[in-house]
Every structure is written in structure tokens, then in C-alpha cells.
Structure 1
């Protein structure tokens, strides 16, 4: 009986590990920057890749892997000096096959478009300057 319990527990732990273990691409910071079509796109992509953080949670599930976080987005925006002139390169990056690059580039576009507070984002969005958790709260100096 005890052997059966140990086997069952081991099987459950193995199943949990198999279901929670990240896919190969989530274990890597390679988000496809080599495929970017221009130098500025590669530079922004590299900054996004470098700023990614290892997290354990996805959307309400255990999902370990490298992701672009809000802090990483801020870091990329500031260190790569992203401006409205970069929107064409960002739109190209937002077509990436890796969802992390697609999402990061899309979020940078949203951040640029709303930096003045006149964009389409509501005041309760982290992309709106009036929000307490605004991604660029405090600017790039901190």
C-alpha cells in the first residue's frame, strides 16, 4: 500500500513538472532579433530581449519562462531611447512569430502613442500618464 502511495505521488509530481515545464522557446531569451529587417529594429529587439525577466506565472497559471515585464518595457523604452520615429520599426517587430517580441513591440507602440496623455488608452491603463502604475512613472531617470 505504501509503495502504491509513493508511486502515485511520484507520478503526480512528474505530471505536474511536465505540464509546468516551459517549452524550449520560453527557456531562451532568443525572440528572433536576427529576423528584424533593419538596424533600428534589431537594436530595439535586442533591448527587449536583454530586459526580459524570468517569471513563474502566466495568465493565472504556472508558466515559467522569460517575458517582457512592465519594468522591462520601461527599461527598453529608456535605454534604447524609443521615440515616435521608431513606430515603423516597431510595427515590423510586432509581426514577429514570437509572441514576446510581438507583445513587447506592440506595448512600446501603445506607450509612445499615449505618452502625451492624448492617446486612446483610458486613465486606468498602465499606458496612461495619469495612472498611478504608469509604466514611465518617474521618467527614465530612476
Structure 2
């Protein structure tokens, strides 16, 4: 009897996205329950020798490593304002990215090792928000810039190679989202209009 199992944890560890089978696409010998579990966990149903699954994972990992070697990520220095805005392709995304670049502030960063660098601050966010007149209409644009995963209930940008750009995009998304969500759970954040340290507390006319 062939062994049926769901392989998802290995794929997660290796950072590989596995296509899942729907119940309508189940292998002939697979239980629909396994297919449903695969869908829910992002795994893939295999029927037969577990080594087939391992070989499949290794092949995918090899292809991913090859793509990374052929198209290496650019290393952005924290001592430079460069956020890779030249990779943006739309006027609005270029405008927002350039504004973030120009409003970075020089200051101390780090925990175990402290050093000065160009960084994102609340003032950075306020200036970008005001200069570029960010509004709720920009939410889809900001999400597209950071490859925002809709299935999560929190904002994690995975697209920009530069972590500072990703941070700024996450913060701007939070700032917009909090304006329509002022419940008790988000009151104690700088994004919420009801918080005493709210980023836009003094409006866009503040010094």
C-alpha cells in the first residue's frame, strides 16, 4: 500500500512554496482529507515513496538558488540614502520612494552593536505622508510595492531588497489602516489618531 503524506514543514524550512492540491485535483490514491490539509498548510500531497518528495524539494531548492545566483540581490548600505528607487516603474511609486529616501534621518541604530546610519523615524513618516499627500487611495500602491500578503492580519513587506524601504512601506500602511480602525487594541500605537504620540498629531503643517 502506498504511503500518503503531506509535506509542508520541510518546504517552510527551506523557504520553498509548494503548490497544494485541491480536493478536485487529488492524486487517485490520496484521501481528500490529506488534500484539504495540504491546502490549509501550503503543503503538497505525495503518494508513494517519501524520497520522491525529498527529491522534488531539493530540485526546487536548486532552481531557486540558481535564480538567486543569476539575479543576485543588490546590497544596500545603511550609510547611504539609496533605497533602490531606480527599480520602481510607476510615477507614484517613484515619488513615494524618493520622498522616503530624502527624508531618512541620520541617527544611532542597533542593539548589541550600536552605530549611526540613515534610518526611518516618525518624522520621516510624517514628512513622506505630507509631502506626497498619502491617502487611503494609495493603499493598493503601497501594498504592491511591498508585495503585501493579503492572507496575513498584519503587514509584512517581502518585496523590497532594502529593509528600510520595506519598513517605511509597512509603517505607511499601518498609518492609513489605523485611521479607520481606532479600537482599543491599536490605541497605544503611534499610528492611531487617539494615541498621544500619534505621528500626525500636529498635522502636516507642523515643523
Q: Aligned-pair RMSD on alpha carbons?
A: 2.0
The alpha carbon displacement at 1:57 in A equals 2.4
Identify, as 1 or 2, the structure richer in helix: 1
Cα separation, partners in 2 of 1:135 and 1:36, compared to 1, 3 Å:
same
Cα separation, partners in 2 of 1:127 and 1:25, compared to 1, 3 Å:
same
Gaps of 5+ in 1: 1-22
Which structure has the larger Rg over C-alpha atoms? 2
**Which gives a bigger RCO, structure 1 or 2 (Cα 8 Å, sep 6+)?**
1
Query: What is the TM-score normalised by the length of structure 1?
Result: 0.76
The alpha carbon displacement at 1:24 in A equals 6.3
Counterpart selection for 1:99 from 163, 168, 191:
163
Query: 1:98-137, aligned counterparts within 5 Å?
Result: 98-118=162-182, 122-137=186-201
3-state SS of paired residue (1:44): helix
Query: What is the TM-score normalised by the length of structure 2?
Result: 0.53
Cα separation, partners in 2 of 1:67 and 1:120, compared to 1, 3 Å:
farther
Gaps of 5+ in 2: 1-74, 147-158
Q: How many residues align?
A: 120
Q: Distance in 1 between matches of 2:78 and 2:141?
A: 24
